[in-house]
Structure 1
Amino acid sequence: MNFRKRQHAFTLVELLVVIAIIGVLVAMLLPAVQAAREAARRSSCSNNMKQLGLALHNYHDTYKALPAGAWMFNAAGAGSTSCTTGNGRRAPWTVSILPFIEQNNIYDKVDFTKSWDNGVHSALRTTHIEAFKCPSDVPYPNQAYG
């Protein structure tokens, strides 16, 4: 009798089937991973919005008013909360709440005697503050907050 020893190895067909199954499982897993990442980004965005709301409440508790929509710098350079007078450029309300979102280091660099479009503030205008953006936002090359 002719006895052959049976080899204990995978055939090419079995190997291809296993690879195909792994590929299908990975293809099913990737959308779930992306959905989990997007959920985490949404959660982070909601937290940022909550922090901005708390900052506005804290500002109100401190000054008994909400921040002005913008600061207008008049021709003499003095800051004014009135946006109907002056020939200067407006500084956004976001500058007013910087100390309330733990950005004192940036707030301390603002020179309220100079117009917001003055060169002194150019670095501040392009500073990216995480509380003002959502992780899902598409980044713009020269995006500034003000």
Structure 2
Amino acid sequence: MILMSRTECGVVVGILLLLTALLVPEVQHAREAARQSQSKNNLKQIGLALYNYQETFTTLPPGGTIREDGVAIHGWFMLLLRCMGDSPFAECIDYNKPWDSPENIPMSEMWIYDYQIHGVDADYSTTGFGMTLYQGNPNLLYRNSSVSLEQLEDGTAHHWLAGEVAGNYQPWGYPFNWRPLGAKLCDGPNSFGRPVWGGGHLLRADGSVTFFSDQTAPEILKAFAEAPPVATRTQTAVPDRRFDYGAFLWERIDLQSDPRADNIYVVRMLRKKWGSPILINVYTAANISPEVRATYKYQGDVLHFLLRIDASTEIADALQATTLKEESSSDQFQANLKLLKSIQAQLPQADTP
């Protein structure tokens, strides 16, 4: 057996610590490089979808479809799903109903890969909506816009369509996903860019993606920001609304019901990673056999929102008003009630004035 003195042990430990100190930055650098590559590819996919949309509808999508009565229906990210390759999600959206209506809540709660960047703790809002880390050009994508690429007077290479933002992220389904470019990247949460990268990518209107550093001259960004056509302040106005978000995940639990019934019932809990639930939603879906499901383009259950349970919900009364009462036995209903109450007890209590 070879024994080392305390001095020798100290030297070995020191070497290991030094190696760790040298390797950790390299590992972090590699991770960020991979995230940059992913984000650049995301923007290319978004650009391709925008081109597909223009080819189909002759214009870029409206930044947001807003009714005359002020009701916001959909934003450009949601409209793009119809043009993003083989995406099955667009078939599940009711484009005649608002993005946050009961009919569209299951889709608005989806995590869309092309709208996210790995490693950023902004997966979902505290209200359960999937987030995006990108925003659009307010001169091209605004309220009820119908801008075509042919209208870009300076040529497509001198206009930008979208880019990564530094903070104040919004749900991808939100109908107001645009913001001004500003004169500097990585200049606070309302700016564009990723501070950890020292800049950010912009998707140009010609489909290319370019990285701009946070030291880019303001004159260059101003030229992009003011390239005509320029929308009016009224067209680009957005509600004064902020979303809280974090590193959350949805967890699914199937409720008990008659296996021969027309429907199944599903609970989805939004929870902090390794933490307690902060939101409980109950859904229904058609009870489809595996054989029939295999023939569908979208293999998952098409969920329909039933109700949201908060800390004050009378669960028994709420469930009595749904079809679950008729499609489950008395024992199954009581088991479901017990389960939901046990989850409800973990919810944060509402603040009292």
Q: SS of the residue aligned with 2:15?
A: helix
CA offsets 1:1-23 (integer angstroms, 9 cap, x no match): xxxxxx96433322221221121
Q: SS of the residue aligned with 1:104?
A: coil
- Distance change >3 Å, CA 141–CA 94, structure 1 → 2: closer
The aligned residue for residue 120 of structure 2 is 137
The aligned residue for residue 94 of structure 2 is 111
Aligned residue identity for 2:122: P
CA offsets 1:84-142 (integer angstroms, 9 cap, x no match): x2453231111221032246321111112323332111111221101112224331642
Q: TM-score, normalised by structure 2?
A: 0.34
Distance (Å, rounded) in 2 between the aligned partners of 1:27 and 1:124? 44
Tell me how many residue pairs correspond in the alignment: 129
- Distance change >3 Å, CA 26–CA 116, structure 1 → 2: closer
Distance (Å, rounded) in 2 between the aligned partners of 1:120 and 1:87? 19
The aligned residue for residue 334 of structure 2 is none
Kept in 2: contact 1:67–1:96 (CA 8 A): yes
Higher relative contact order at CA 8 Å, sep ≥6: structure 1 or structure 2? 1
Structure 2 stretches lacking a partner, 5+ long: 126-130, 132-170, 175-353
The aligned residue for residue 63 of structure 1 is 57
Task: Pick which of 36-45 and 12-21 moved more.
Answer: 12-21
- Does 2:83 match 1:100? yes
CA RMSD, Structure 1 to Structure 2 (Å): 2.2
Between Structure 1 and Structure 2, the one with more helix by share is 1
Aligned residue identity for 2:120: D
Q: SS of the residue aligned with 1:27?
A: helix
CA offsets 1:34-54 (integer angstroms, 9 cap, x no match): 111111111111111111011
Q: SS of the residue aligned with 1:62?
A: helix
Distance (Å, rounded) in 2 between the aligned partners of 1:20 and 1:52? 48
- Distance change >3 Å, CA 14–CA 111, structure 1 → 2: same
Kept in 1: contact 2:111–2:123 (CA 8 A): no
The aligned residue for residue 38 of structure 1 is 32
The aligned residue for residue 81 of structure 1 is none
Aligned residue identity for 1:90: I
Task: Pick which of 39-48 and 130-139 moved more.
Answer: 130-139
